[in-house]
Amino acid sequence: MSSKKYLNKNVYDAAMERIEYIFSEFPNVLIAFSGGKDSGLLLNLAYDYAKKHNKLDQLSVYFLDYEAQYKATMDYVTEVFESLGDINKYWLALPNSVPSATSMTTGYWIPWDESKRDIWVRDMPQQDYVVNEHNVPFEYKPGTDDYTVQEGFTKWFSKTHGKTAVMIGIRAAESLDRYRAIKSNNKVNGYKDLNYAIKKDDITTNVYPIYDWETSDIWVANAKFAYSYNSIYDLMHLAGVPIDSMRVASPFLSQGLSSLELYKAIEPDTWAKMVGRVNGVNFAGIYGGTTAMGWKSIKLPPGHTWKSYLDFLLKTLPENTRKDYQRIFKTSIEFWKNKGGVLSEETISELEELGLSPIRHDSTNYKTDKTPVTFEEYPDDADVADFKSVPSYKRMAITIMKNDHTAKYMGFAKTKAQMERRKKALEKYRSLL
């Protein structure tokens, strides 16, 4: 493996030199677009170059649709495809075998599986450029793994259109394996003397023009050139996700489990469908990240208090769901301020050491040995042993992240309306038996 060599030029100039060479060397350039920040930036760079030099007829783009993806990602991809009216576009929505680390019984799942149509996360897109199993133009068998399908598609494209460079937005900084694959001096499938190119066959070559970019370079370029990007990154940023950890690819890969629980907070409607669609999603969402150590230990995103983070989470919810939570949380705040609850002396002592001294009262209607207390100011956090017994904005935030619509985690019982809805649902499904 070669060591890094730093050039006397910035990564943007180096990438544009590579893109210029690729367009001059290959009559066809096919962009692999995922809806993520890297492939989005690469598509913008290539499109700007092709348009400026009257080479749009050489440029094409394809997107592999995994069915269960952020709505924001799908909105962004749709917007991009609709804006590219002057190049060839391919939207692959196929029942491929996709790795899944969420299930305890199988290592894969099948998006767009016709036998599961009734529980698809989304409807099949209907644009003319969509390729599904009924109109696939290349040799294809449902259940083939997604990487094999992509290679089959790109080779079909080359055979149909001629010698092709498949432009991929992989960056070596993302992993040592990617760095080795791109920069190795011992590649047996290299293309000429290009260290950023790998031949797939005589007329198909994968190229990686932004392999030496850092994550920060992507965002600098987006800002400098006012490029559009997936708005999900803004929500991830607000949620405190580090820029190097933001992912929008298939959420069930092992690399994505640590952020899978974000679906619950950022897009709860999508999450609800995913839980019923892919085996083990809810389990992975709970135990795939920091919550494996217990909800109490979950970390606050940088720049937030628990109250401000709660406000952020509420804004991501559908209106009816948001109002239900707001009603519950208002009840809790008023209860602990006016009526009060009861806490053990041990918990009160812990709170006093933290400077969160509750107001003690002499009597309570509760039949208990615990001490009745109220809070003049609702706590933001309460790092005590009996965490669940103490009110806090952190506990409210966790309630949302747990998808706990009845706030059982906060000690609430089901309301009469909720019990009535449950009764009607049970009666409905009994009638189907």
Residue 50, pLDDT above cutoff 90: yes
Phi then psi for residue 207, to 5 deg, are -130, 150
* Domain shared by 32 and 106, yes or no: yes
Domain presence at residue 4: no
In-domain check, residue 1? no
DSSP secondary structure of 10-48: -HHHHHHHHHHHHHHH-SEEEEEE-SSHHHHHHHHHHHH
Report the pLDDT value the prediction gives residue 181, as an integer from 0 to 100: 59
Same domain for 362 and 412, yes or no, is yes
Q: Write out the residue range of the structural domain in which residue 260 sits.
A: 235-297
Total domain count, the chain: 3
Mean pLDDT value of segment 193-217: 94
pTM here?
0.64
CA 324, distance to chain mean position in Å, is: 25
Point out the domain boundary residue: 197, 225, 253. 225
Same domain, 331 and 195: no
Based on the domain organization, do 115 and 194 belong to the same domain?
yes
Question: Where a domain ends, among 278, 297, 316?
Answer: 297
Dump pLDDT digits (tens) for 128-151: 999 999 999 999 999 998 889 999
Task: Give yes or no for a contact between 144 and 96, defined as CB atoms under 8 angstroms apart.
Answer: yes
Do 357 and 421 fall within a single domain?
A: yes
* More confidently predicted of 299 and 124: 124
Q: What is the pLDDT of residue 202?
A: 96
168 pLDDT above the threshold of 90: yes
Residues 260 and 144 in one domain: no
Give pLDDT tens digits for 411-430: 765 545 545 544 454 454 34
- pLDDT score, position 299: 75
Beta bridge partners of 92: 64, 131
pLDDT at residue 241 in the model? 78
Q: What is the mean pLDDT of residues 325-346?
A: 92
> What rounded mean pLDDT belongs to the chain?
82
Distances (CA, A) of 271 to 17, 78, 228, 308: 42, 20, 25, 23
Q: Is residue 77 a part of any domain in this protein?
A: yes
pLDDT at residue number 336: 94
Q: Residues of the chain with pLDDT > 90: what percent?
A: 50
Same domain, 324 and 360: yes
In a domain, 5, yes or no: no
Q: Is 248 domain-assigned?
A: yes
**Residue 186 predicted with pLDDT over 70:** no
What single letter denotes the amino acid at residue 231? S
pLDDT at 286: 46
Helix (H) or strand (E) holding 401: helix 393-401
Q: Which pLDDT band holds residue 225 (cuts at 50, 70, 90)?
A: very high
Q: Does residue 2 sit within a domain?
A: no
Residue 310 CB-density burial (10 A; 0-12 exposed, 13-18 middle, 19+ buried)? buried
Q: Are residues 181 and 280 in the same domain?
A: no
Q: Supply the pLDDT for residue 354.
A: 92
* pLDDT of 411: 74
pLDDT of 257 reads 44
| Phi, psi for 8 (deg, rounded to 5) | -85, 55
Give a yes or no: residue 374 inside a domain: yes
Residue 230 domain-assigned (yes or no): no
Asked if 63 and 105 sit in the same domain, the reply is yes
pLDDT over 70 (residue 7):
no
Mean pLDDT of 92-109: 69
**Do 270 and 177 sit in the same domain of this protein?**
no
Is the domain of 254 the same as that of 397? no
Is the CA virtual torsion 32, 34, 38, 39 positive or negative? Answer: positive
Q: What pLDDT shows up at residue 271?
A: 62
Same domain, yes or no: 195 and 61: yes
**CATH number of the domain enclosing 171:** 3.40.50.620
- Residue 400 is predicted with a pLDDT of 80
- Domain boundary residue, one of 175, 191, 225: 225
Banded model confidence at residue 320, pLDDT cuts 50, 70, 90:
confident
